[in-house]
Amino acid sequence: MKFLFFLCVLGFCHAIFATYWMLMGNPSNFLIQKIHYLNASTGLFVNRSVFGTFLFLCAFSSLYYIVIFFQKNQIVNFNFIEQVKSKIFFIRIFIIFMSIGILTTWSRAANFSYVLILLSFLFYSKISFKKYINPLSAVIIFILIFDIFVMGLFFGNAKLIERYAETSILGETLRFDLQTFGIDQFKNFWLFGYGSEAFGQVFKIFYNIPENFFNYHADRAHNDGIELLGEIGVLGVSILLLLYISYFKIIIKAINEKKQFTRFILLSLLILILFIQSLVDFSLHAPGILVLLITILSIGLIKFKTSSD
């Protein structure tokens, strides 16, 4: 729980810094030169989608902390006064600022994934408490109403809505073209792959750049799955799948126990949501995001005491 609380504080501090810096116009600082996304929150990251992914992983950790807190204290009713007297009150404050940070990235992928995370916990709350209105669902509904809707109106969610409205197959032609190119290069290097982080080099060598895009260059395929497939090939993907199978075999053990069941459901939903996001994004190729994700997934390797121990 201490580690999850640390991630809450980390996301909270970074969200405050990023939002404040965005409101100032994202001036360059001693840590990073701001060239792109001057009107969006990026924090200490270069890309807004990567920063949004970082924040919603921290938000996931915060919500997971709340779930464990409820289980540990066997809470079935939790009024506002009790919240104020516990750490949950601080967690809620942290989540508000993380929600603002995610919103002001104006990233379609990150904001969509964050809403899916909230709906996942809402789904879990019904399974766990066996009723629709419960302490966890009350927290999630409040986040959806206040953090997403009210704060969205205050900070101007019209910009994000406009980006969603402008999304079309025609408008994403360039992204789909890169993904098609990525698949073609996987076919050329199907066994061992062309190497980690080598998509940009492969692009320079093999991509036919149109005359009107003379200075065009791409370092990412805008699809984590396709890019990973090209980087490590069939051999690497086979090893990765074996590791995933081993991981799920561990978190499925003693699934009848409540803690193990919670861990299995929430971590599985997190992986599913990240898979959906990876279809149009490359955040999982950022080293900081990958380290954070592996650290969160390592929760699945913790051995809980079962009732028979």
**What distances in angstroms separate CA 222 from CA 139, 176, 225, 279, one per listed residue?**
34, 8, 9, 8
Q: What's the pLDDT at 39?
A: 83
Q: What's the pLDDT at 304?
A: 59
Q: What's the pLDDT at 31?
A: 66
Q: What's the pLDDT at 280?
A: 86
Q: Which residues of the chain have pLDDT under 50?
A: 307-309
- Confidence (pTM): 0.87
Q: What's the pLDDT at 306?
A: 53
